[in-house]
Structure 1
């Protein structure tokens, strides 16, 4: 049987480590895939490692503070920093629907920043995520609301109950109104779901804008370090509104968010990335 000596093992390990370092620093594609691998593995660990502690208070939003702490450590490892603006605009005297632009799966790190800043946050997710254990169990334990997108009646009933949760518990329901990931220069048209919820429970909308991920370029396989701005806009009241006001409300929220998205993204490009 061929045995590798300690010396050979050390030499091999050293060469492998040197190869990884050289590739990481010289190849943006290698760095892109490596960082995504790190993000995926560490996110899964930080979401599930705290399950034993979360079992003591199931479906409590405070459970989310534990994986959120882990998410903030992941940001540090990936070289990402987040700057909060507009904390004075946070709705504190009632529940609300929080609108966030959706750019990437890295938005999970944005939620990690939001959770300790805005009390009683929760999110909606498709029910299939629940069966992806142990991550699904962890999601349920920190209060994720699961809906069946294929069953319209069931999904609507769940959303109606969510409205009750917002009113009674003063919860903050975080939703991505674009409905899909998009990191372009413009926000996509908004879906109606979040606005239906806000109008049905007569709670304010809290727009929140995350600057464009200039550090990330999927087309060119680039994933660098980066600074980002999270801006909390003044709430938009839905008091007295009905379904007839839906289009008006959507346009008002999207217009406000688009304006801030463009301004903060342009600020970062010129101040931090030297992009003209």
Structure 2
């Protein structure tokens, strides 16, 4: 465990050293470039972070179902076990991702400022009605521009094997726009434990399901189908797992 903690410290040092110049570049480019161009800068940094995690901490990645990613607008609903998926989804999904996130993150120096510059879907989680109003007001514009909307329906990081009730905003947004839902399961929390500096060597598996249609369907049926697939598939990824056998 001590070795894993040291590796985690080194990884976070690399993260801290690189995030400031990358965000500074994004902020400088903001008045002169399209958001899609600046997103490319953040995408490249996200891939660097995933590579650094592999080299420093021995955390590898395998992906199932990438062929299920459709052409055209979708609402991505992903399992949330660690910060890892925020890097991977933005770096490797085929379309730019408009994240739905709590607006307090905009106040984080450099990273939050860069995040704010994209004009993504920051919401006030304490006000559910206001949050959903933001989604249905701003979300369709991102879908029309060719962006995918990315949400974590659990609302917070949930340790592997634990379950919480999914929030309904993502499914409701998809239904309101007629966009399908792309469900994503993963087991990142095994290698990147919540509230821990240590990073556990092993393989994180991302499983991308087939798009779930929403148009003309009962909302509760859609919500249940999404939650069932993500939960069942994420639990299935836990056993066996290379990190647990290391």
Per the normalisation by structure 1, the TM-score is 0.75
Q: Does 1:198 align with 2:177?
A: no
Q: Secondary structure at the match of 1:183?
A: coil
The question of whether the paired residues in 2 share the 8 Å contact of 1:55 and 1:141 is answered with no
Q: Does 1:248 align with 2:201?
A: no
Bigger Cα displacement from structure 2, 97-106 vs 161-170:
161-170
Per the normalisation by structure 2, the TM-score is 0.83
Please give the alpha-carbon distance, in whole angstroms, between the structure 1 residues aligned to 2:39 and 2:223. 29
User: Structure 2: 5+ residue runs without aligned partners?
Assistant: none
Q: What is the aligned partner in structure 1 of residue 111 from structure 2?
A: 135
Higher relative contact order (Cα pairs below 8 Å, separated by 6+ residues):
2
The question of whether the paired residues in 2 share the 8 Å contact of 1:123 and 1:174 is answered with yes
The question of whether the paired residues in 1 share the 8 Å contact of 2:60 and 2:204 is answered with yes
Please give the alpha-carbon distance, in whole angstroms, between the structure 2 residues aligned to 1:221 and 1:168. 39
Task: Give how far 1:200 is off.
Answer: 1.1
Q: Cα 1:109–1:156, aligned 2, differ >3 Å: closer, same or farther?
A: closer
The question of whether the paired residues in 2 share the 8 Å contact of 1:179 and 1:190 is answered with yes
Task: Give how far 1:193 is off.
Answer: 1.0
- Cα displacement string for residues 105-162 of structure 1 (whole angstroms, at most 9, x for unaligned residues): 2333223433xx3213211122222233432231133342222334455433311113
Q: Does 1:82 align with 2:61?
A: yes
Bigger Cα displacement from structure 2, 68-77 vs 194-203:
68-77
The structure with the largest alpha-carbon Rg is: 1
Q: CA RMSD in A?
A: 2.8
Please give the alpha-carbon distance, in whole angstroms, between the structure 2 residues aligned to 1:229 and 1:42. 27
User: Structure 1: 5+ residue runs without aligned partners?
Assistant: 1-25
1:110 to 66, 81, 88: 88
The question of whether the paired residues in 2 share the 8 Å contact of 1:61 and 1:121 is answered with no
Task: Give how far 1:212 is off.
Answer: 4.1
Q: Secondary structure at the match of 1:260?
A: helix
Task: Give how far 1:163 is off.
Answer: 3.7
Q: Cα 1:181–1:217, aligned 2, differ >3 Å: closer, same or farther?
A: closer
